[in-house]
Chains A and B, each alone.
Chain A
Amino acid sequence: MSPERGPVFLARRTYRRRRLADAARLLPIIGTVLICIPLLWQGEGASGATRTTMAMFYIFGLWVLLALIAGIVSHYLRASENEEPPRGVGD
């Protein structure tokens, strides 16, 4: 980010919007990866595997987090706006 370049208001907004769309696209991918994390815990400790309660805390925490981020991203992202062709300005 280079605020000193001072792009015009519109270009700046377009830039923001496009990064928001990127975030919206990224969200399910990150979510998938994070959902798979508990699988890595399974081999842990010879005495016993991960406790269900622990996995529950993790999963439900992640769930709330995903909903929250989705809410924030969607709040600023309007579905009806079409994707403009990429422009050099401000990117």
Chain B
Amino acid sequence: MSIMNVLALVCLLYVVFLFAVAFGADRAARHGRGKWLRSPYVYTLSLSIYCTAWTFYGAVGFAARSGLEYVTIYLGPTLVMVGWWWTLRKMVRVGRSQRITSIADLISSRYGKSNLLAVFVTILAVIGVTPYIALQLQSVTLSFAAFSETEQAGNGLPDMQSTALWVAMGLTLFTILFGTRNLDANERHHGVVIAIAVEAVVKLCALLAVGAFVVWGLSDGVGDTLARIDASEIARFEVPGSRWIGLTMLSAAAFLCLPRMFQVMVVENENEEHLRTAAWAFPTYVMLMSLFVVPIAAVGLDIMPTGSNPDLFVLTLPLQAGRDGLAILSFLGGFSSATSMVIVAAIALSTMVSNHMVMPIWLYFTGASAVISGDVRHVALLARRLSIAGVVFLGYLYFRVTGGGAALAAIGLISFAGVAQFLPALMGGLFWRGATRTGALAGLGVGFVLWQYCLFLPSFGPSIIMPQSVLEQGLFGLSWLRPQALFGARDMDPLVHAILWSMLLNTGAFVLGSLLSFPKPIERLQGAQFVNVFDHSSTTGGWSGGMAQSEDLLIMSQRIMGATEAQALFAQAARRQGLAGYLPEPSPDFLQELERELSGSVGAATAHAMISQIVGGAAVSVEDLMAVADETAQIMEYSSQLETQSQELARTARQLRQANEKLTQISVQKDGFLSQISHELRTPMTSIRAFSEILRDTSDLTAEEKSKYSSIIHDEAVRLTRLLDDLLDLSVLENGQVVLNTQTGMLSNLLDRAERAAGVQGGTLKVKRNRDAEAIELSTDLDRLGQVFINLIANARKYCDGDPPVLSIRTRVLDGQLVIDFMDNGSGIPLDKEALIFEKFSRIGQTKVGGAGLGLAICREIMTRLDGSVSYLPGQKGAAFRVSLPLPRRIAAQ
């Protein structure tokens, strides 16, 4: 059995083993077993996809060409890792709290969930990473070729293209199987992660084994190896300072920005605490990975025939020494490095491509409605699978087209420089609230163009894509535009030159763009969320929902997340809101939660867009906020108006009730009056009739009797006349037809007259007066005023039931008003009658004493004519009336 067949068999077995491991891990995770899957060491090992085939094979080649310089590729990530407290902690926290699915998602989320930015980053990442995937395919085919070369040309060289194609297809299958098992890209891909961790162990062991073999097998221990290094071409440490620093910084930037690193570091992160372990374990891992690189390179340069490819020393040294087993282990190490990188890169890129490009386009073409169209879940999965195939195929295509010529390390660094263009937008987004979408777009644009112009396009070799003339004379013959000597920076290392200018101008454009532009509200909200993630880790830019239809949301979510999960989520939310069933109120909190869940599946920008479709574009904008505030103000104003109106209504109702009561009472009074008046009229009429009949029919009446009966008739007629006079008087007063006859006189005299007229003298009523206070000269219609007084005194005489009845008349001057109170010591007027006593025909109770009930009504009319008033004074011991009359100013001043 030839070594090629053994190799193929081992390879196949290894792949089967990886499938089994991934399958087992996925199963264990699904059944809730396998706590070890979430170990920080698994996390650390998964980070080792940083070490790709490029580092596995290429580092030795790198070292063979330029000595110790290769360590910069590892030192950068080491610095980032030991400085986790600065950056990684924040990135992981943001990634977890915002349910970030990729670096494009992070950048787009930060800058207002801009899909344009996401698309831009995605395209840049695909362009930057595709050569890198090609590199992995190339390294696998090269290592196959290395084996076949030892086969003394027996069955000829295997077709390199077909090897690459097989590898590409196998990797696509694996990635689709384990990378798209669940749609939620934010969920952990346990199978993939554990497979990567196993591969990380394999590649480390392989490299250490080869290293140990070189030091203790091919050389005589450490001392001899060091001597060999000292004797080799790379004995002297001659690293240009610019490259040393530049490459360290570049690798550090790439470590943060590479889509696959972001995938394992942030997206697959199970627990922030894992960073604590990775902080020392990852530097240790890469240190071990690079420990034997220089010895292998030095010994390889010493032993191997000149002209052999130093990139394959790791493989060819054991083969040369006839250690096939070790060679196969080494091959597996390289194979592991290549496959793990391609798998994770494909997952990361496919997530970006499907979430930010395929899904939005699909949504756009399906009528931009997530509700009506078919199963989004299906489409998203399909999109992701096709994207994986597409990305790997693109890598294969690149490999086919370029023919795998250039040195491995060169492509790797060019790719690094490409993705490093994300750094200003990424770091600015995490640490600077002033960073805006415009700035990010400007920075990325400038950086991308410069990277293409200075590094990527020239890398294809002169005159392949970029004409030689441009390379030598600059674009349009402008010498300061020469791709490798921009702005007159001649004699620089092309890589450092490109990094310097692209990063410098990228950062410059980013900062300038941010300073000059004004962010949209959602950008500002997201900016605050990202920069101050440790202050509030939970919330994202909100929904001012309320109009959203929960049912529509459920229908949409079912299509994305799957029916069971979506229903569980909705039911849980409904329970939290205290509702039964599956439909919670579309509260802003719930919408936010839902968006985060969806963004785990389709990315933040798409999730945001889908919810906006249903909620009706209710993303927060200042205009919205203002409208809401305005509405609120209007509502508040309106409700205060309502309140006033309802108060007014209540007042009116109260008044109406009072009026109604009064009317009812008046109607009762009127009935009472009619019976009273008929009685009053009837009584004198009866006696008049009776006595006139006696006078007419009785002939033998004495003169005395005649006179007596005639006077009775007369008296009754007078009484009738008085009653009719009163009625007439009131009618005249009410119609305002009265003519006032102004006279001047003393109040005391007036009261004296009134007392006499009321018939107090000789009665039981005792009147108390203070004559000193009554020495006030009045100038008014004294007859009318006297009429009021007479009425009040007569009332007291008639109704006061005090024993003995006493009427006090108090006179005072209050605020320019003459105030005369008539207060008796009787039982007063009941509260419910107080409103009625001034009404016409009002008579309180069934009084023994006659009266038409017109007196007080007349009094009130008179006082109104005299610009004064008469009112009932409640709360006194008996009935109390107050007569007020304005005084001429001269008197009031006294």
Contact = CB atoms under 8 A, between A and B. Distances in A.
Do A and B bind?
yes
Contacts of A4: none
B78 A66 contact: yes
Contact of B236 (A28, A50, A69, A74): A50
A60 B273 contact: no
Contacts of B78: 31, 63, 66-67
Contact of A25 (B86, B234, B237): B86
Contact of A74 (B238, B241, B277, B294): B277
B835 interface: no
B449 interface: no
A36 B244 contact: yes
Contacts of A36: 241, 244-245
A7 interface: no
A11 interface: no
Nearest to B287: A63
Contacts of B358: none
A51 B272 contact: no
B237 A38 contact: yes
Contacts of A38: 237, 239, 244
Contact of A77 (B79, B80, B276, B534): B276
A56 B287 CA distance: 11
A71 B236 contact: no
A39 B85 CA distance: 28
B529 to A, nearest CB: 15
B85 A77 contact: yes
B280 A60 contact: no
B463 interface: no
A68 B535 CA distance: 30
Given A24-B85, A56-B294, A71 B280 contact: yes
A59 B291 CA distance: 10
Nearest to A71: B280
Contact of A70 (B67, B81, B226, B244): B81
Interface in B572-588: none
Interface in B533-553: 534-535
Interface string A32-62: 1001101101100000111111111001100
Nearest to A75: B276
A29 B239 CA distance: 21
A78 B279 CA distance: 12
A78 to B, nearest CB: 7
A78 B82 contact: no
Contact of B82 (A54, A55, A66, A75): A66
Contacts of B535: 82
A78 B274 CA distance: 10
Q: What bracket does the count of chain B residues touching chain A fall in?
A: 35 or more
A42 B68 CA distance: 13
Contacts of A64: 284, 287
Nearest to B535: A82
Interface in B260-306: 272-273, 275-277, 279-281, 283-284, 287, 291, 294
Contacts of B284: 64, 67
B83 A27 contact: yes
B804 to A, nearest CB: 87
Contacts of A77: 85, 276
Nearest to B234: A52
Interface in B239-254: 239, 241, 244-245, 248
Contacts of B68: 52, 55-56, 59
B226 A53 contact: yes
Chain A contact patch, size range: 35 or more
Nearest to B295: A56
Contact of A53 (B229, B245, B279, B281): B229
Contacts of A83: 534
A38 B240 CA distance: 11
Contacts of B19: none
A63 B226 CA distance: 19
Contacts of A35: 75, 79, 248
Interface in B207-265: 226, 229-230, 234-239, 241, 244-245, 248
A73 B277 CA distance: 11
B71 interface: yes
A41 B237 contact: yes
Contacts of A48: 236
Contacts of A74: 84, 275-277, 279-280
A39 B239 contact: yes
A70 B813 CA distance: 98
B784 interface: no
A79 interface: yes
A41 B279 CA distance: 29
Interface centre among A25, A42, A56, A80 (most CB of B within 10 A): A56
Contacts of A27: 82-83
A29 to B, nearest CB: 8
A42 B239 CA distance: 8
A89 B229 CA distance: 56
Contacts of B238: 42, 49
A25 to B, nearest CB: 6
Contacts of A29: 83
B80 A28 contact: yes
Contacts of B245: 36, 39
A21 B534 CA distance: 14
B670 interface: no
B534 A82 contact: yes
Nearest to B534: A82
A75 B534 CA distance: 20
B256 to A, nearest CB: 12
Nearest to A20: B85
A79 B75 contact: no
Nearest to A44: B237
B89 interface: yes
Contacts of A79: 84, 89, 92, 272-273, 275-276
Contacts of B229: 52-53, 56
Nearest to A41: B237
A50 B230 CA distance: 11
Nearest to B284: A67
Nearest to A68: B280
Nearest to B285: A67
Nearest to A62: B75
A28 B86 contact: yes
B297 to A, nearest CB: 10
A42 B89 CA distance: 37
A80 B239 CA distance: 40
Nearest to A64: B287
A25 B85 contact: yes
Contact of A67 (B273, B280, B294): B280
Contact of B279 (A54, A63, A70): A70
Contacts of A68: 280
A73 B279 CA distance: 9
Contact of B230 (A41, A42, A51): A51
A21 to B, nearest CB: 6
Nearest to B536: A82
Contacts of B83: 24-25, 27-29, 31
Q: Which 8 A-B pairs have the closest CB atoms?
A: A28-B83, A71-B280, A24-B85, A74-B276, A70-B82, A50-B237, A79-B272, A67-B283
Given A55-B237, A63-B283, A74-B277, 19 more contacts: A29-B83, A35-B79, A38-B244, A49-B237, A51-B237, A52-B68, A52-B230, A59-B75, A60-B291, A67-B78, A67-B284, A67-B287, A68-B280, A74-B279, A78-B276, A79-B272, A79-B275, A80-B272, A83-B534
Interface of A: 21, 24-25, 27-29, 31-32, 35-36, 38-39, 41-42, 48-56, 59-60, 63-64, 66-71, 73-75, 77-80, 82-83
27 contacts: A24-B85, A27-B82, A29-B83, A32-B79, A32-B248, A38-B237, A38-B244, A39-B239, A39-B241, A41-B237, A48-B236, A49-B237, A51-B236, A51-B237, A52-B230, A52-B237, A53-B226, A56-B294, A60-B287, A60-B291, A63-B78, A66-B283, A67-B280, A68-B280, A69-B82, A74-B84, A74-B275
